[in-house]
């Protein structure tokens, strides 16, 4: 009878968790690959649950922030479960902001400033309040006006 595989140690779990919650694109890509193919990571017992961007829009003004919110939830929930949240919160929030800025960089230069404005607002909400639920409709409306004005100016120059 074969012996069961050795259980994942707390240090191994923390090491993988840390590698998936850094500010870099490669960290995000590693986490996203694991999210899509969770089976190899099952023994780590990660909490993959998410409410995406809480009560704030996941895709404000069409900007796709949902996966950035998902990774942020992943970091918050898993660091809380191992009692290491306070020591890592600032980095998790910074990684969230970098994820959102990478999303914004994929949009046209015309609307990118509005996207960056929303990314900053979402980052400030998690940094200060611990949740994007603090984002107000007025914040989204301000970015919507910025986006509409930019699109209007671009249309006039074309």
- Six-digit token pair at 82? 């191992």
Tell me the C-alpha distance between 94 and 90, whole Å.
6
- Six-digit token pair at 37? 């193919």
| Catalytic site positions | 72
Residue 113's contacts (CB-CB under 8 Å, 6 or more residues apart) are 146, 150
User: pLDDT at position 5, please?
Assistant: 54
Residue 49 counted as domain residue? yes
Residue 40 counted as domain residue? yes
Number of structural domains found in the chain: 1
∠ CA 137-92-42 to the nearest 5 degrees? 110
Residue 110 counted as domain residue? yes
User: pLDDT at position 157, please?
Assistant: 84
User: Helices marked H in 20-136 — which ranges?
Assistant: 25-36, 66-81, 85-104, 112-129
Tell me the C-alpha distance between 28 and 75, whole Å.
11
CA dihedral 156, 140, 114, 102 (to 10 degrees): -140
Domain with 85, as residue range(s), is: 10-157
Question: The domain that contains 31 carries what CATH number?
Answer: 1.20.90.10
Residue 122 counted as domain residue? yes
What averages of pLDDT result for each successive group of 10 residues across the chain (158 residues)?
A: 66 98 99 98 97 86 95 98 97 98 97 96 89 82 89 86
Residue 56 counted as domain residue? yes
Residue 2 counted as domain residue? no
Residue 101 counted as domain residue? yes
User: pLDDT at position 129, please?
Assistant: 83
Residue 2's contacts (CB-CB under 8 Å, 6 or more residues apart) are none
Residue 104 counted as domain residue? yes
Tell me the C-alpha distance between 64 and 53, whole Å.
11
């Amino acid at each position: 009878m074969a012996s069961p595989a050795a259980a994942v140690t707390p240090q191994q779990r923390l090491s993988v968790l840390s590698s998936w919650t850094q500010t870099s694109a490669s960290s995000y890509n590693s986490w996203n690959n694991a999210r899509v193919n969770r089976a190899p990571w099952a023994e780590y017992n990660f909490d993959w649950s998410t409410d995406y961007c809480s009560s704030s829009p996941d895709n404000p003004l069409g900007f796709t922030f949902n996966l950035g919110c998902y990774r942020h939830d992943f970091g918050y929930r898993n660091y809380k479960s191992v009692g290491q949240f306070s020591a890592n919160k600032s980095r998790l929030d910074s990684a969230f902001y970098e994820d959102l800025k990478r999303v914004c960089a994929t949009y046209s230069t015309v609307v990118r400033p509005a996207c960056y404005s929303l990314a900053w607002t979402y980052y400030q909400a998690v940094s200060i309040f611990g949740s994007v639920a603090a984002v107000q409709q007025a914040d989204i409306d301000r970015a919507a006006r910025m986006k509409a004005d930019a699109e209007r100016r671009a249309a006039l120059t074309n």
